[in-house]
């Protein structure tokens, strides 16, 4: 594959991507200390990368029982979802596509 192919559009599973650059999910732990809320720092981070073909958001806990990483975000309440929506809306406004990595740390946490 030539280097120019990286910037060509591609369709994967019916999802059309503007290029082949994909941001892998990285557990960043960027919520404010003591919170699980997605915040403006995270919004800035993902929005800056919206020119990629696909962004996969960091590991995001689906419940308190499955939460196990300090300052990692959650998506188990309306407030969590509303804060993630601010991030995804910002990415979409820049023409990006984004999915979230749902996360449960398993029986080791509680």
pLDDT per position as a tens digit, 45-60:
999 999 999 999 999 9
Domain presence at residue 10 = no
Tell me which residue range forms the domain holding 98.
22-108
Domain presence at residue 100 = yes
Domain presence at residue 13 = no
Would the pLDDT of 106 be above 60? yes
How would residue 2 be classed by pLDDT, with cut points 50, 70 and 90? low
Residues forming a β-bridge with 56? 99
Domain presence at residue 6 = no
Domain presence at residue 101 = yes
The span from the CA of 109 to the CA of 63, in Å, is 11
Domain presence at residue 17 = no
Would the pLDDT of 88 be above 90? yes
DSSP 22: E
Domain presence at residue 7 = no
Domain presence at residue 11 = no
Would the pLDDT of 7 be above 80? yes
Average confidence score pLDDT of the chain: 93
User: If you average pLDDT over residues 69-75, what whole number do you get?
Assistant: 93
How would residue 69 be classed by pLDDT, with cut points 50, 70 and 90? confident
DSSP 66: G
For the ranges 24-28, 43-47, 80-84, 98-102, the lowest mean pLDDT is seen at 24-28
- Number of structural domains in the chain: 1
Query: Rounded to the nearest 10 degrees, what angle do helices 78-93 and 40-48 cross at?
Result: 30
């Amino acid at each position: 594959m030539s280097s120019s192919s990286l910037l060509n559009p591609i369709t994967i599973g019916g999802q059309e991507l503007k290029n082949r650059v994909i941001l892998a999910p990285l557990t960043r732990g960027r919520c404010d200390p003591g919170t699980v809320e997605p915040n403006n720092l995270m919004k800035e981070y993902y929005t800056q990368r919206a020119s990629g073909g696909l962004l996969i958001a960091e590991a995001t806990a689906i419940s308190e029982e499955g939460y196990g990483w300090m300052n990692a975000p959650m998506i188990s309440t309306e407030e969590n979802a509303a804060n993630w929506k601010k991030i995804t809306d910002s990415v979409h406004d820049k023409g990006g596509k984004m999915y979230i990595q749902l996360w449960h740390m398993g029986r080791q946490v509680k």
